[in-house]
Amino acid sequence: MPIDLLIHSAAQLVTCASDHPKRGAEMTDLGLIEGGAVAVDDGFIIDVGSSAELASRYTPRRRIDASRKVVCPGFVDAHTHVVYAGDRAAEFEQRIRGATYQEIAAAGGGILSTVRQVRDATVGQLIAETRPRLDAMLRLGTTVAEVKTGYGLDLDSELNMLQAIEQLDISQPIGLIPTFLGAHAIPPEYAGRAEDYTQVVIDALIPAAAKWYAESHFPARGVPFFIDVFCEENAFTLEQSRRILEAGLLHGMKAKAHVDEFTNLGGARMAADLGSTSIDHLDVTSKHEIEHVALTQTVAVIIPAVNFNFGSSQFADARALIDMGVALALATDINPGSAPCPSLPLVMAIACRYQHLLPAEALNASTINAAYAVGVGDKVGSIEVGKLADILLVGAADYRHLAYQFGGNLVETVIKRGKVV
């Protein structure tokens, strides 16, 4: 049978195969096939197995010899703020001098610094500044990424960010999944009036975002649209966060939430009880709340690059999350302030060292579980028949090198929808 592509003779074919987010002991199961092969046609995976078996079944138009290499799914970055303008390098220096995130924000820096720069930018400028970041992520193995708004905080600027996300999804290889985060911070014009801005988000911004999505190309591609909120002290209260998520759900969005990054307000339980696809950060989530989340379908997205960038010794208790049965994913949180990091392999390395994940757990957390955390686990995140052929060739014969080595890039070849990119 003629096909487009056969990748064969992999030292390790790591499938990460699963029809659900992995939990507990499943997190160490990579579905590994030594000497494995993958058959690809028309952008999809059509067969997986031993190299001898697949070589006898198919006549490929192109062959890739993966001898002495790991073949694994493309990485899925489950939490990013990659669309923005400008940078916050000056704040990096301020933090080194001892300023906290909250102190910088109170002085008009932090998220609001980026808000000013995004409001001054055109859609074209946002695209031009973001594209090199996406190129870097692609070279490092990311083939799908969730992307949030939240640096506009007014109707026109938030819609500009959504337009940039759509145009970037069309014009470069990484598949993008849009999230509306109009409730990222209280904008300066609403200082001291958080409740008023909350109502603006509910009454004006969410309906406009839902209309944009309906008219975008994403629904036809089966790509979901998410509502998100920063449930945190000096951002949105638990009650405000609940109302914002409920409003998004009423407009057909799926829910996500930033919770427990600095302060435990009860956001993890609230968001999980609303059926959120993911809850993200969880740095100060209590064991009692972890037990509750473990009983739900919500995926916990851990973001260690933020803690690393802050020079913090406090990380989310990822080991407890896994051991207590929570489905766990990893993400970069790439953004200009708290995590200017495009590299999921580096995130895996940090998670293994500081959060005691095993390399297999980190790889599952960056592929299949991350795909479920952004609502596309049925399409990507593993090497399985019927899924998109998003595949990496890694310059090592053992998958553990992805987390064991750090500071470089072991990803040698990136295949997106069956095409080498």
357 and 283 housed in the same domain: yes
**DSSP code for 204:** I
pLDDT in tens, 24-55: 999 999 999 999 999 999 999 999 999 999 99
48 and 150 housed in the same domain: no
14 and 141 housed in the same domain: no
- Percent of residues, the chain, with pLDDT higher than 90: 94
- Percent of residues, the chain, with pLDDT higher than 70: 100
User: How much is the average pLDDT of 189-202?
Assistant: 97
| Candidate from 84-93, 159-168, 244-253 with smallest mean pLDDT | 84-93
pLDDT in tens, 91-134: 888 888 888 877 887 777 888 899 999 999 999 999 999 999 99
CA 397 to chain centre: 26
Per the structure, the count of domains in the chain is: 2
For residue 38, give the CATH number of its domain.
Answer: 2.30.40.10
Instruction: Measure the CA–CA gap between 382 and 364, rounded to whole angstroms.
Output: 9
Contact 70, 12 (CB under 8 A): yes
287 and 216 housed in the same domain: yes
For residue 305, give the CATH number of its domain.
Answer: 3.20.20.140
80 and 58 housed in the same domain: no
Q: Kindly tell me if the per-residue pLDDT of 180 is higher than 80.
A: yes
Instruction: Measure the CA–CA gap between 156 and 152, rounded to whole angstroms.
Output: 8
Give the closest residue to 104 by CA, choosing from 338, 266, 346: 338
62 and 79 housed in the same domain: no
410 and 290 housed in the same domain: no
405 and 337 housed in the same domain: no
Q: Which amino acid is at 86?
A: G
69 and 58 housed in the same domain: yes
Contact 126, 85 (CB under 8 A): yes
Look up the domain containing 12 and give its range: 2-73+381-420
pLDDT for residue 110: 84
pLDDT for residue 358: 98
CA 249 to chain centre: 20
Q: For residue 280, what are the β-bridge partners?
A: 258, 301
User: How much is the average pLDDT of 324-338?
Assistant: 97
pLDDT for residue 368: 99
Coil, helix or strand at residue 270: helix
44 and 102 housed in the same domain: no
pLDDT for residue 98: 87
Give the closest residue to 73 by CA, choosing from 3, 174, 141, 173: 141
Q: Kindly tell me if the per-residue pLDDT of 410 is higher than 80.
A: yes
11 and 98 housed in the same domain: no
Instruction: Measure the CA–CA gap between 245 and 86, rounded to whole angstroms.
Output: 29
279 and 318 housed in the same domain: yes
pLDDT for residue 96: 86
Predicted TM-score of the model (pTM): 0.97
